[in-house]
Amino acid sequence: MRIPSSLRAREPRAAARTAAIVLLVCAGMLSLVGLLGPAAVGDASRGVVWSCVAGLLLVAGVLERTPPQFLDRIGAFLALAIGGVTVLATLALMGGGTSTRAQAFLAFVVVYAGFHLRSAAAVIATTYSVAAGGVMLLGSAESFRAAFTEWVFFGAMLAVIGGLLIRSTSKQERLVAALKRQADVDALTGLVTRRVLDEELTRALARTSNLEGTALLLMDVDEFKSINDVHGHLAGDDALVHLSTIIRRQTRASDAVVSRMGGDEVAILLRRCSQETAVRRAQQLLDAVRGEPLTLPDGTLYGLSISLGVAHVERSTGDLRTLYAAADAALYAAKRGGRGRVEVAAA
């Protein structure tokens, strides 16, 4: 069973670790209650308290031993928050009253949800905690008016705490996502960076189910320096944007990763691709670039030319550095051979 991503944790590993710590703290607090005995009307009996301690320790142990990603997929972290509140409310109603200590546990849930759950899940947990607090107070008080007033103040406190945490963590999450996009995507061309390509290439090489192998295409613009020298660096930037646009039209995101390596060099990872297919795709790119000249700022057309090196490895038989070196050697062979051509790395 999978739940929507909006109801999951922001960072499953951190959420599991914090939950285990909170459960152990709560177990310690309840152990003290169990040793001292009920202090007020509405407090649970020692037997119930020690049962809760055992349950908390059991859940903490499960969290420590179960992979966080699995717990996240099944919605365990939101369920943990909802379940904890439900247990608190049930114990309060069974005991015929509630206490400041029981309400403090609700604050634990709100703080945990605000920090570790995504916004939708945190809102659900906070709303449920506020509602449960009302049930605990209104269901056990002799004076409805006094209980309602206390719930309004207590509920408002929980709602404000939850709202501030949700807003803060959501803003931080958006900032982190923006920084990650900047690290993953080249600002000029919109192609992914070398880091992303390396990660995808490592995964592709590790797949034992890839029967056709993995191909890497390296290319750069022939005489790129002359474009900058004669027409200016803005024209050089236009050439890179123009090239990346053509490449994106010629590739599919489902089986290719296109990366700007730096300067005018571009790399294309082709997953599940035979050597023959890789060479054919490289030739198609070469022809596409030749057939679509760049329009310079003054309106004149400038015919771009690229050179390409193709390297290919069978499944699980290559490593990242070797594949890069082979493609790079093939690219320089294409340059030495007269540019505007495709060269294939020696097997």
| pLDDT at 98 (0 to 100) | 58
Mean pLDDT for back-to-back runs of 10 residues, the chain (347 residues): 84 92 86 70 68 89 92 93 87 65 80 92 93 79 76 88 90 79 84 91 78 90 90 91 93 89 93 91 94 88 93 78 92 93 87
Residues near 66 by Cβ (< 8 Å), separated by ≥ 6?
16, 76
Chain mean pLDDT for the chain:
86
| pLDDT at 106 (0 to 100) | 87
| pLDDT at 325 (0 to 100) | 93
Q: Which of 89, 45, 51, 81 is nearest to 63 (CA)?
A: 81
So where are the chain's domains? 5-184, 194-344
Residues near 314 by Cβ (< 8 Å), separated by ≥ 6?
213
**Angle at 84 (CA atoms; ends 164, 19), nearest 5 degrees:** 65
CA atoms lying within 13 Å on the CB side of residue 40: 8
CATH number of 194-344: 3.30.70.270
List 268's β-bridge partners, or say none.
217, 258
- Cβ–Cβ under 8 Å, residues 155 and 134: yes
Q: 3-class DSSP state for residue 164?
A: helix
